[in-house]
A and B are shown apart, each in its own frame.
Chain A
């Protein structure tokens, strides 16, 4: 259909690039850096999104939190049955968790009460290889350090609601890298939890629901709203969407910076190439005198532009991958994550995103080639005899 590829012209174009290397170096390096920066940003962004997605996917599809006058309340286990009665609900479970205010340290201790079937806590437990016996607790490294600071090495005294103390021995430390190193996390059995916080044996913090068919989540959420008109119904999907949007915003921000730099660059390229060296003009004039048609010259110039931009793209992408994998996105990552982002000190697994690579390609190679159209055309259509004088 379209003119077939001419390998000789391609080779010639390659030769021209090498010969005028210094002239093109500035453009090549700038383009490479722009590509690298943009790619790195997008890779980080998509890696962070993926990280969230995997984490969130482990969570329940729907979480129902009880409210009264828009203030948080606990649920009663009885209500669990009403949830289970809804068709399409695979499982529903009451969760028990909360936080203890450690006054002396002015810090919050997050506590998750263990259920034999709670997947999250169980996973953590597995990794510590410790049996959680009746009235003991397991701490995260952070929590352990905090308590030790206040001389609680083997146990801790919780102050109950009625003022009495409950002494709880420390059984082990959570080793999972899943835990944010900054989170003061404690695991303990439900009975112990309820005792400390004076909660009824049928009280639960919230209800987590798993749905058999993911397409039905919205539908079931609707039904839940009918059953619990005052409750807050949070969908897993919504969390993901919020994250997606917030990162889109951030990517968008970086992208805007990129656009501005790119347009500036575009103008520079255009300007530079328009001032085509007389040397090049002469060479093209000679070629035309030797029988090259305008389209042959244009084809060679196209290959030149393609080689340069493609080369910059490949090198830039490679550098970005290197940066993201080898240096774990130092500096840029911190700029990306907001202050209290939960992912701050966790090892993010980086996944190269093909979609991002395509995007960067579209934003680098075609625009560059477009920038060279007019200069190439000017050069290709100069009357060759001007070259003779």
Chain B
């Protein structure tokens, strides 16, 4: 259960990214935030992930007021609950697939066996198990996409956030991505996708489409 109450967000130089936004998401929902770049949809994702704090208002996730938490706890919250897929993947090219996938888990000091287990689990789920040891820079666009999604799932998050995930993909890869999202939806994850790619607007398994324009919901 995610709630954004009277959220406003200002950046330096008086850029108003969001203006008195109210939103709520139910568990297991798949929501598409529709809007052009700069409309504020990425900011909503950042707020839900706790990557930034609102200038005004509150963000509440499962009764936790995450906008008021100290960094220490927000990060823990994020580590346990959120999986993020970035627009440009943001993988580290000189590291291997496995190393990239494990990045979120490094501070947790888990046992080696546990880490191995999780890597195997997600690489198989997203079908890149055979490329585990390859360096990311040697992979194709589609393969990198799958690594990015795998990484976002390695901590078994309840909420998956995707920011313009298909902006740099051709249609085939975009469709592959949508298939993977469908798979995740079937596992009852709450999924929020910020995009202006029309491919997402008429999908059957999308629960809601929210329109955002110039920081306000329309």
Which residues on A are within 8 Å of B, measured CB to CB?
A: 4, 6, 8-9, 12, 15, 19, 282-283, 286-296, 299, 381, 383-385, 387-389
Contact = CB atoms under 8 A, between A and B. Distances in A.
B75 A15 contact: no
B52 A291 contact: no
A155 B66 CA distance: 102
B104 A291 contact: yes
A388 B72 contact: no
Contact of B75 (A294, A387, A389): A294
B26 to A, nearest CB: 24
Nearest to B42: A388
B155 A291 contact: yes
A297 to B, nearest CB: 9
A288 B103 contact: no
Contact of B84 (A12, A290, A295): A290
Contact of A289 (B51, B72, B80): B51
B51 A288 contact: yes
22 contacts: A6-B107, A6-B109, A8-B102, A8-B107, A286-B86, A289-B78, A290-B84, A291-B104, A291-B155, A292-B104, A292-B107, A293-B75, A294-B71, A296-B106, A296-B107, A383-B52, A384-B46, A384-B51, A385-B43, A385-B51, A388-B51, A388-B163
Given A288-B75, A293-B72, A383-B51, A9 B163 contact: no
6 A-B pairs closest in CB distance: A291-B79, A385-B46, A293-B75, A290-B104, A296-B107, A8-B106
A41 B159 CA distance: 61
A389 B86 CA distance: 10
A292 B75 contact: yes
Contacts of A19: 94
A295 B103 contact: no
Residue picked from A8, A9, A19, A383, most chain B C-beta under 10 Å: A8
A293 B79 CA distance: 9
**How big is chain B's contact interface, by range?**
20 to 34
B30 interface: no
Contacts of B43: 385
A291 B163 contact: no
B151 interface: yes
Contact of B82 (A286, A291, A389): A291
Contacts of B86: 286, 289, 388
B70 to A, nearest CB: 9
B109 A8 contact: yes
Interface string B153-188: 001000000010000000000000000000000000
B91 to A, nearest CB: 9
B106 A388 contact: no
B42 to A, nearest CB: 6
B140 interface: no
Task: Determine which residue in A19, A289, A291, A293 has the highest number of CB atoms from chain B within 10 A of its CB, and name it.
Answer: A291
A292 to B, nearest CB: 6
Given A286-B86, A295-B72, A389 B106 contact: no
Nearest to A296: B107
Given A293-B71, A381-B71, A388-B87, 8 more contacts: A8-B109, A289-B49, A290-B79, A290-B84, A296-B107, A383-B52, A385-B43, A388-B86
B103 A287 contact: yes
Contact of B72 (A8, A15, A294): A294
Interface in B25-50: 42-43, 46, 49
A279 to B, nearest CB: 10
B76 interface: yes
B125 interface: no
A293 B109 contact: no
B23 interface: no
Contacts of A389: 42
B120 interface: no
Contacts of A289: 49, 51, 78, 84, 86, 90
B107 A9 contact: yes
B199 interface: no
Contacts of A293: 71-72, 75-76, 107
Contacts of A384: 46, 51-52
B139 interface: no
A73 to B, nearest CB: 80
